[in-house]
Amino acid sequence: MLKESMKVILCGASGMVGGGVLRECLDDPRVRAVLSVGRRASGLSAPKLTEWILPDLSKLSARAAELEGFDACFFCVGVSAAGMSEAAYREVTLGLTVRTAEILLGNNPGLTFCYVSGQGTDSSERGRIMWARVKGETENRLLEMPLSAYMFRPGYIQPLKGVRSRTRAYRMFYAVSGPLFPILERLLPGHLTTTVNVGKAMIRVALSGSEKRVLEPRDINRLAVEVGPASAC
């Protein structure tokens, strides 16, 4: 169903991707209100922005009664699998994501849920790469739920509009690669996007849907610049 405006809950706004998505939400007049939920403050302020600081996002259920009247959730929470056991990574990735969707769905029928997954995610859940299997299972669980779920699988993401990674090594990498992005964009168009495009594409999908529910970088970039409804769902 097409929407003219919406109220959004954003999880993970203190991260690089979430921070970029938050900026696009605050700049877009079709987003009338944003509730940012995360372990840290986003560092931004605006009349339509409300922030909940929750050191443990698994405790979101304690405030479930307040999570009513939302049209979309942009779930940008994620951790690196490096050094983590599969059980621990599953709990943070699959467990937290699905529980959040279930909590929100209880008070928000028809919710649109945009999940930041990753390019290379294994939908079969049987591959050799641990993070890809877990991400694939997370995607599959969300797609089975009675909500409008969209899986965002960005590859390389260039931060824009002052967005910075919290990780020093990544900041150094982006500082070096940033000037090369226009060249890389031409050479590898199917693998690159930006924080701006991820945010714009999420807003677009939440307002008017998309024929595809699993979105690769090319899809994200296309949705970010298209005008008009993506589908009549």
Tens digit of each residue's pLDDT (9 = 90 or more) over 72-96:
999 999 888 888 999 999 999 999 9
38: closest CA among 25, 20, 56, 24? 56
Cα-Cα-Cα-Cα dihedral of 102, 106, 109, 110, to 10°?
-10
Contact 184, 217 (CB under 8 A): no
Domain locations in the chain as residue ranges: 6-225
pLDDT digit string, tens, across residues 30-71? 999 999 999 999 999 999 999 999 988 888 999 999 999 999
pLDDT at 180: 66
Residues pairing with 72 in the sheet: 8, 112
Report the number of secondary-structure helices (H) and strands (E) in the chain: 8, 9
Mean per-residue pLDDT for 122-132? Answer: 95
pLDDT at 164: 72
Contact 14, 40 (CB under 8 A): yes
pLDDT at 75: 98
Contact 38, 11 (CB under 8 A): yes
Element (H, E) at 51: strand 49-53
Would you place residue 232 in the very low, low, confident or very high pLDDT band (cuts 50, 70, 90)? Answer: very low
pLDDT digit string, tens, across residues 185-200? 777 677 889 999 999 9
pLDDT digit string, tens, across residues 137-178? 999 999 999 999 999 999 889 888 878 766 666 666 666 666
- Say which CATH topology domain 6-225 has: Rossmann fold (3.40.50)
Which residue has 């939302």 as its token pair?
Answer: 70
pTM here is: 0.90
Main-chain dihedrals φ then ψ at residue 139, nearest 5 degrees: -55, -45
The answer, yes or no, to whether residue 2 has pLDDT greater than 70, is no
